[in-house]
């Protein structure tokens, strides 16, 4: 396992580095290097376990064949799944991926972006905090390839792959209405994320279209970093005699998990007393008691598409790809809604 370099194999074979480099990069034919020479080179490289130094290669080529992935939190099952699909697709296209979590912190996200740029990633996939408009604009101005996933900047034209948050949420709410629920609460997070806003709007629109009023008292927005502690009061408040809700829409999976926990502690029967439904899928939502209905996001498509758009951009292949995709969610009905 002794390290061997390009020049070693050139010397050993009495050839120039050029010839070796060309052949090793599959450009032997195109440069009319004799089949025989090619074979000698390939064999020797193989036998001696030649491994090109990608940093040197990258420096010379001006690219790293690496893409950077920035998500709020890689241990969130939602992002972990997307990451997995990104990784797989990237691999087939010859790219590695480096990842980092921003922890929903705009400043951290900015730092990560630059850290990755320093590392000469060829492109970036970002599930942004949506608070780095300036940096995103700079990326765009610099013509640097990137695609936003999960969250986009509605007023900036960029590549993105998101889901129809409005539609998904409206569907969920309508499903509850269809099942006779009339007093439907919403539990969301305090956030300026467009995705979260859209989910709330979807909920509201469904109610309004049904001729119902929106009741601010049963529309809870919790601190994203303190939702666990705030959930107790929120739920207690909603199920109290005053507001007496009969259903709750949760705008994301961890809220649903936490909310269900509290409902159980308060001995509220789900779904007979209160039906629940949630955006996003937790993976175990079908095992939970009761199994939770959900608007499932197509994580595989999100990941695959993002990589395809990005690589298309990086390699300027100009394949016709819809580079602003809004994917549909899938309504999965389970027991938590009542039959």
Q: Which residues would be at the binding site for a copy of itself (CB under 8 A)?
A: 1, 51-56, 58-59, 64, 66, 73-77, 80-81, 83-85, 87-88, 91, 96-101, 114-120, 138, 141-142, 257, 260-261, 282-290
Q: How many CB atoms lie within 10 A of CB 97?
A: 18
Min dist CB 156 to a copy of itself, Å, is 16
State the DSSP code for 94.
T
List, in sequence order, every residue forming a beta bridge with 70; answer none if it has no partner: 100, 126
Min dist CB 4 to DNA, Å, is 8
Min dist CB 116 to a copy of itself, Å, is 8
Specify the residue, 53 or 240, whose C-beta has the smaller distance to DNA.
53
Report the candidate in 131, 73, 76, 135 with the shortest Cα–Cα distance to residue 102: 73
Cβ–Cβ < 8 Å for 309, 159: yes
Min dist CB 315 to DNA, Å, is 14
Q: How does DSSP assign 131-193, residue by residue?
A: --HHHHHHHHHTT--EEEES---TTS---EEEE-HHHHHHHHHHHHHHTT--SEEEEEE----
Collapsing DSSP to helix, strand or coil, 121 comes out as coil
Specify the residue, 19 or 90, whose C-beta has the smaller distance to DNA.
19
Specify the residue, 124 or 257, whose C-beta has the smaller distance to a copy of itself.
257
Min dist CB 192 to DNA, Å, is 36
State the DSSP code for 251.
S
What is the total count of residues that contact DNA (CB under 7 A)?
27
184-206: string of b/e by CB count within 10 Å (b at 16+)?
bbbbbbebebbbbbbbbebbbbb
Cβ–Cβ < 8 Å for 96, 66: yes
Specify the residue, 5 or 99, whose C-beta has the smaller distance to DNA.
5
Report the candidate in 272, 215, 213, 207 with the shortest Cα–Cα distance to residue 238: 215
- 266 φ, ψ to 5°? -85, 0
Contact window for DNA (CB under 7 A) among 4-12, 101-109, 161-169, 262-270: 4-12
Secondary structure element (H or E) that encloses residue 234, with its range: helix 227-239
Q: Which option in DNA, a copy of itself, none does residue 37 bind, with CB closer than 5 to 8 A by kind?
A: DNA
Contacting DNA (CB under 7 A), which of 48, 57, 73, 190?
A: 57
Min dist CB 72 to DNA, Å, is 30
Contact window for DNA (CB under 7 A) among 60-68, 105-113, 263-271, 284-292: 60-68
Q: Which option in DNA, a copy of itself, none does residue 33 bind, with CB closer than 5 to 8 A by kind?
A: DNA
Q: Which option in DNA, a copy of itself, none does residue 24 bind, with CB closer than 5 to 8 A by kind?
A: DNA
Q: Would you state the structure tokens that stand for residue 59, as one six-digit string?
A: 């420096």
Q: How far apart are CA 29 and CA 19, in angstroms?
A: 11
Name 207's Cβ contacts closer than 8 Å, sequence gap at least 6. 173, 177, 184, 213, 214
Specify the residue, 57 or 236, whose C-beta has the smaller distance to DNA.
57
Specify the residue, 53 or 103, whose C-beta has the smaller distance to DNA.
53
Note whether 314 binds DNA by CB under 7 A.
no
Report the candidate in 194, 181, 182, 76 with the shortest Cα–Cα distance to residue 131: 194
Contacting DNA (CB under 7 A), which of 1, 2, 32, 47?
A: 32
Specify the residue, 11 or 59, whose C-beta has the smaller distance to a copy of itself.
59
Specify the residue, 2 or 35, whose C-beta has the smaller distance to a copy of itself.
2
Min dist CB 150 to a copy of itself, Å, is 15
Note whether 272 binds DNA by CB under 7 A.
no
Binding residues (CB under 7 A) for DNA: these are 5-7, 14-19, 21-22, 24-25, 27, 31-34, 37, 52-53, 56-57, 59-62
């Amino acid at each position: 396992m002794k390290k061997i370099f390009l020049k070693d194999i050139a010397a050993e074979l009495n050839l120039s580095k050029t010839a070796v480099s060309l052949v090793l990069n599959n450009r032997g034919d195109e440069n009319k290097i004799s089949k025989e020479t090619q074979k000698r080179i390939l064999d020797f490289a193989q036998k001696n376990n030649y491994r090109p130094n990608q940093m040197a290669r990258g420096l010379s080529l001006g690219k790293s064949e690496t893409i950077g992935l920035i998500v709020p939190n890689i241990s969130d099952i939602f992002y972990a799944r997307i990451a997995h699909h990104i990784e797989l697709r990237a691999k087939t296209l010859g790219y590695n991926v480096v990842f980092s979590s921003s922890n929903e912190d705009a400043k951290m996200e900015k730092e990560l972006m630059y850290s990755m740029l320093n590392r000469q990633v060829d492109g970036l996939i970002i599930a942004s905090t949506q608070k780095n408009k300036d940096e995103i604009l700079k990326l765009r101005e610099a013509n640097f390839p990137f695609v936003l996933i999960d969250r986009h900047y509605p007023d900036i034209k960029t590549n993105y792959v998101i889901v129809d948050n409005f539609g998904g949420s409206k569907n969920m709410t309508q499903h509850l209405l269809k099942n006779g629920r009339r007093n439907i609460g919403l539990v969301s997070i305090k956030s300026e994320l467009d995705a979260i806003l859209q989910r709330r709007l979807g909920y509201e629109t469904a109610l309004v279209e049904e001729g119902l009023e929106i009741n601010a008292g049963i529309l809870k927005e919790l601190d994203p970093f303190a939702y666990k502690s705030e959930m107790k009061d929120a739920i207690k408040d909603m199920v109290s005699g005053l507001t007496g809700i009969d259903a709750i829409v949760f705008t994301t999976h961890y809220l649903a998990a936490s909310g269900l926990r509290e409902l159980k502690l308060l001995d509220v029967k789900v779904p007979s007393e209160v039906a629940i439904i949630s955006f996003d899928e937790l993976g175990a939502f079908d095992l939970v008691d009761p199994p939770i209905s959900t608007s499932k996001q197509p994580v595989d498509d999100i990941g695959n598409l993002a990589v395809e758009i990005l690589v298309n951009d990086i390699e300027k292949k100009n394949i016709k790809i819809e580079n602003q995709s809004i994917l549909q969610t899938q309504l999965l009905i389970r027991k938590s809604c009542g039959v």
